[in-house]
């Protein structure tokens, strides 16, 4: 439902030397937007209301690329530990693994593997716990920078990013939007003038170029650097350098330099693809964000149940009223008085029919059914159908015959009782059929006589068809006589 699918605000955190850098993202109009960027002693009250994401440092994360046979996600998850073990410099049981599927094709599956030692994750969580903060999810700095790069305004998806922070520098290689490699340099933005930094940066760039042979990258993307240091970095790298622009509105270059990691951490948390909080480090308050939705769901369920209950009661009342009216109609059809019929069921005065329940009506209908079945099957023995003499008298007085007897001459008349009730068929009704043959001086007179037979009368049944045919100038009319017998 809508209150379960609603995305909460996400807070990305980066722990600096003296304070925390905070980025708060909100989901607006199908996009993530930056709601606030602050550097402060974090308010625990604020963080209790938001989803907090942090990032493990680059020097604690190992990133490797895997090329596996084509397999399903379930098969990949089951075989990941086995495939990753030869690539790790430490025992598998001492670390936590996460992975991102880069591509799936007919040739195989390409996967980026992330590994962090449990002791480093424990130290990271304890560091935040000392400030009374418990992140719900923990990603890593390289993945955060990769998530941030997806918001760069660029015609390319290949980036060589160098981010300088308060404590260390991170370099990441991103090809076609996929994180390929990362390097840690133990130099802060305040120590970039050292010769060792230049040598280490050249080694990293050389390593990245060898990994991106088929994806030439001529620009070095800088984050966290001041404009004064850009010419020196351009000289060191031998590449064009740039400070990227993002799709976030009102995000200045200065804010991007300062808050790149918390912004990327929040964006990485929004996708939830890499989360090292698993196994014994799983977040312990998983139901915290579901309290309000569950309470809302419970209240709405109670309201909806009450509405359905009220509607059901009203519907049952209407159906009971209809049942009571049909019950009275049935008694009337069988010529039974309601008060008299109620005597066997009530010792005191008979209640009004509107007070009867469905079970009481069912009991009375059962009694009525037994009473009807106990009665013998009767049927009328004397039909109230015009007799032959009555029919002949009616024909003699018919205007088309009595007024002009020379124009119509009756040749033959056949009177037949085609249906009648019997002991085996007591529900059958009487039906008498008359077949009349006559001649007329011309077809117009015969047609007029035929039309008169179709007119309503006390003799001919207007509900049945008056059949008509002609043979050798002799006309034949076949019709049923009206039955006025009373049936029970």
Among residues of the chain, what percentage have pLDDT more than 70? 94
Is pLDDT above 60 for 1?
A: no
Confidence grade of residue 215 (pLDDT, cut at 50, 70, 90): confident
Mean predicted confidence (pLDDT) in 255-279: 88
- Per CATH, is 154-244 categorized as 3.40.50.2300? no
pLDDT digit string, tens, across residues 114-124: 999 999 999 99
pLDDT digit string, tens, across residues 342-400: 878 876 666 777 888 888 888 888 888 888 887 777 778 888 999 999 989 988 888 88
pLDDT digit string, tens, across residues 276-319: 988 888 887 777 667 777 888 899 999 999 999 999 999 999 99
Q: What is the pLDDT of residue 401?
A: 85
Mean pLDDT of the chain, nearest integer: 85
Among residues of the chain, what percentage have pLDDT more than 90? 25
Residue with more model confidence, 241 or 41: 241
**1-153+251-286 against 388-480: fold identical:** no
Mean predicted confidence (pLDDT) in 419-438: 88
Q: Which residues contact 107 (CB under 8 A, 6 or more apart)?
A: 70
CATH number of 388-480: 3.30.1360
Residue 57 to residue 457: CA distance in whole angstroms: 106
Residue 192 to residue 208: CA distance in whole angstroms: 20
Domain range annotation of the chain:
1-153+251-286, 154-244, 296-374, 388-480
Q: What is the pLDDT of residue 5?
A: 47
Is pLDDT above 80 for 46?
A: no
Confidence grade of residue 4 (pLDDT, cut at 50, 70, 90): very low
Burial 475-488 (b: 16+ CB within 10 A, else e): bbbbbbbbbeeeee
CATH number of 1-153+251-286: 3.30.420.380
Confidence grade of residue 2 (pLDDT, cut at 50, 70, 90): very low
Note the pTM of the prediction, 2 decimals: 0.62
Q: What is the pLDDT of residue 347?
A: 65
Count Cβ atoms below 10 Å from residue 456 Cβ, excluding itself.
Answer: 7
H or E element: which one contains 97? strand 95-104
pLDDT digit string, tens, across residues 74-109: 888 888 888 888 889 999 999 999 999 988 887 888
Residue with more model confidence, 230 or 327: 327
- Helix %, strand %, coil % for the chain, to 5? 40, 25, 35
């Amino acid at each position: 439902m809508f209150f379960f699918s609603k995305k909460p605000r996400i807070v990305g955190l980066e722990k600096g030397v003296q304070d925390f850098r905070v980025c708060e993202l909100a989901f607006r109009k199908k996009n993530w937007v930056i709601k606030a960027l602050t550097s402060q002693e974090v308010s625990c009250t604020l963080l209790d209301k938001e989803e907090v994401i942090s990032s493990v440092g680059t020097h604690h994360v190992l990133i490797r690329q895997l090329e596996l046979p084509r397999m399903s996600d379930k098969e990949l998850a089951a075989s990941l530990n086995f495939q990753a073990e030869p690539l790790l410099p430490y025992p598998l049981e001492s670390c936590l693994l996460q992975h991102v599927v880069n591509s799936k094709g007919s040739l195989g599956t390409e996967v980026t593997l992330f590994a962090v030692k449990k002791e480093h994750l424990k130290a990271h969580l304890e560091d935040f716990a000392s400030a009374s903060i418990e992140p719900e999810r923990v990603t890593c700095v390289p993945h955060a920078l990769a998530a941030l790069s997806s918001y760069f305004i660029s015609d390319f998806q290949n980036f060589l990013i160098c981010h300088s922070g308060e404590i260390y520098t991170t370099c990441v290689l991103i090809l076609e939007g996929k994180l390929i490699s990362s390097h840690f340099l133990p130099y802060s933005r305040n120590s970039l003038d050292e010769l060792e930094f230049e040598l280490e940066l050249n080694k990293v760039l050389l390593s990245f170029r060898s990994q991106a042979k088929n994806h030439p990258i001529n620009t070095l993307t800088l984050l966290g650097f001041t404009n004064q240091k850009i010419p020196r970095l351009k000289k060191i790298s031998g590449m064009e350098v740039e400070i990227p622009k993002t799709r976030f509105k009102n995000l200045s270059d200065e804010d991007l330099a300062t808050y790149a990691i918390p912004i990327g951490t929040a964006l990485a948390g929004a996708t939830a693809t890499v989360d090292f909080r698993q196994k014994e480090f799983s977040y312990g308050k998983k139901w915290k964000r579901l309290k309000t939705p569950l309470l809302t769901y419970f209240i709405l369920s109670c309201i909806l149940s009450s509405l359905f209950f009220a509607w059901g009661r009203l519907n049952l009342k209407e159906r009971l009223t209809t049942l009571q009216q049909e019950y009275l109609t049935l008694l009337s059809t069988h010529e039974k008085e309601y008060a008299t019929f109620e005597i066997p069921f009530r010792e005191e005065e008979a209640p009004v029919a509107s007070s009867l329940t469905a079970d009481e009506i069912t009991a009375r209908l059962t009694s009525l059914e037994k009473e009807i079945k106990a009665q013998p099957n009767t049927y009328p023995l004397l039909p109230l159908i015009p007799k032959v003499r009555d029919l002949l008298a009616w024909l003699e007085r018919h205007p088309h015959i009595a007024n002009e007897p020379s124009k119509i001459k009756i040749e033959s008349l056949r009177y037949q009782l085609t249906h009648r009730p019997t002991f085996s068929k007591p529900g059958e009704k009487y039906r008498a059929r008359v077949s009349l043959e006559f001649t007329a001086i011309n077809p117009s007179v015969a047609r007029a006589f035929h039309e008169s037979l179709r007119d309503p009368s006390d003799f001919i049944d207007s509900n049945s068809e008056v059949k008509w045919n002609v043979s050798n100038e002799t006309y034949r009319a076949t019709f049923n006589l009206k039955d006025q017998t009373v049936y029970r």
